[in-house]
Each structure stands twice: as structure tokens, then as C-alpha cells.
């Protein structure tokens, strides 16, 4: 995984960058499986490695395949991302250990979720669709809004180029 990230940083060919980020997503999915988060792993593999790779390749066919050399040196962004990363690592050190049943997050609502009054064997589904139904409704609305926004943005572009839109509608 580290190799994939390092190669990602150094490569300037966008095609290999996209393929490498797909590989990275698949490795991430295997890590999530190892952490017993199978639902998230499935999402990561299908969205991160599958759909977004295809979409990025589609975007790549609209532009040049070599990354342009940046106009200025990236020292400030580098410093910002390094310090934020260091902060996150520092914060993560304060978290309770993995599989620690005495951790505060397992004390409040989790026992009730685990009693499983919904009687659905997969607790993740029960939490997402039933206990946290409002959240998931919000998420679905977000996905819908993203799609609607994209339609609004790209449709308008089509009208500016009437020749192309006519040809595409025929096809």
C-alpha cells in the first residue's frame, strides 16, 4: 500500500495515477475486511476501485494524459497537509484501543443496538436503515442532490454547443 501511494506521488502520467488509485482502494478494502468492517470494505471496493476509476478514466479522455508541471512550489500545501496529518495521528493515539469493550463509544447506545429488537442479523443494516433511518434518508437525499446538480451543470453546457447536442440526441 505504501508502495502504491509513493508511486502515486511520483508518477506524472495520469492514466497510471488512476490505475494506482484503484489498486490503493482495493488494498484499503482488504484492510477493512481485516478490521471486520465488511460492509465498508464492499463499498470501498465497488465505489473506490470500481466506479470512481471508470469515472476518472472518462474524465481523463476529456483532457491531456500528462500532469502539467505546477506553476509554483508546493511547500505551503505540503506543510499544511503534514501538520494536519500529524495532528490526526496525535489525536488517534488518544483513542481507546481496537476491540476495547470498555471504550466509551460502546457504553451508550451500542448495547441497545446489540439487543437487536429489530431482529436483523446484520447489525450494520439494522443501524443504518432502522435506528439511524433519518441519517440514511439524509444520505440518500445527498446522493440525489449530487445527481440533480450534475444534471443541471452538464445539461447547460450541452445547450451552448447545439451542434454536438443534436448529434448526441440522435445517437
List residues binding other proteins (CB under 8 A).
38-39, 41-43, 46-47, 50-51, 54-55, 58-59, 61-62, 117-122, 124-126, 128-130, 133-134, 136-137, 139-141, 143-144, 146-148, 150-151, 154, 157, 164, 168, 171
Q: Which is nearer to other proteins, 12 or 157 (CB)?
A: 157
Cα–Cα dist 163/20, whole Å? 37
Please report the sign of the dihedral spanned by the C-alpha atoms of residue 151, residue 152, residue 153, residue 155: positive
Q: Which is nearer to other proteins, 13 or 43 (CB)?
A: 43
**Minimum CB separation from other proteins for residue 154, in Å?**
5
**Minimum CB separation from other proteins for residue 131, in Å?**
10
CA distances from 80 to 21, 73, 89, 96, 156 (A): 22, 14, 14, 27, 36
Cα–Cα dist 106/110, whole Å? 5
**Minimum CB separation from other proteins for residue 117, in Å?**
8
Q: Which is nearer to other proteins, 48 or 106 (CB)?
A: 48
Residues 6+ apart with CB under 8 A from 146: none
> What is the number of H-type helices and E-type strands within the chain?
9, 0
**Minimum CB separation from other proteins for residue 92, in Å?**
25
Q: Which is nearer to other proteins, 107 or 116 (CB)?
A: 116
Cα–Cα dist 128/23, whole Å? 28
Residues 6+ apart with CB under 8 A from 130: 118, 120
**Minimum CB separation from other proteins for residue 108, in Å?**
21
Q: Which is nearer to other proteins, 67 or 164 (CB)?
A: 164
Amino acid at each position: 500500500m505504501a508502495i502504491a501511494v509513493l508511486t502515486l506521488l511520483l508518477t506524472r502520467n495520469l492514466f497510471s495515477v488512476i490505475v494506482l488509485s484503484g489498486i490503493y482502494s482495493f488494498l484499503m478494502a482488504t484492510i477493512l475486511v481485516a478490521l471486520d468492517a465488511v460492509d465498508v470494505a464492499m463499498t470501498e471496493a465497488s465505489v473506490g476501485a470500481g466506479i470512481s476509476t471508470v469515472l476518472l478514466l472518462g474524465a481523463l479522455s476529456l483532457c491531456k494524459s500528462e500532469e502539467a508541471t505546477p506553476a509554483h512550489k508546493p511547500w505551503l500545501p505540503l506543510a499544511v497537509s503534514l501538520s494536519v496529518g500529524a495532528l490526526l495521528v496525535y489525536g488517534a493515539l488518544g483513542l481507546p484501543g481496537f476491540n476495547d469493550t470498555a471504550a466509551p463509544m460502546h457504553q451508550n447506545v451500542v448495547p441497545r443496538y446489540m439487543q437487536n429488537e429489530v431482529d436483523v442479523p446484520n447489525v450494520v443494516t439494522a443501524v443504518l436503515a432502522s435506528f439511524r433511518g433519518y441519517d440514511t434518508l439524509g444520505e440518500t437525499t445527498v446522493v440525489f442532490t449530487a445527481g440533480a446538480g450534475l444534471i443541471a451543470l452538464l445539461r447547460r453546457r450541452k445547450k451552448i454547443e447545439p451542434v454536438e447536442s443534436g448529434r448526441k440526441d440522435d445517437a
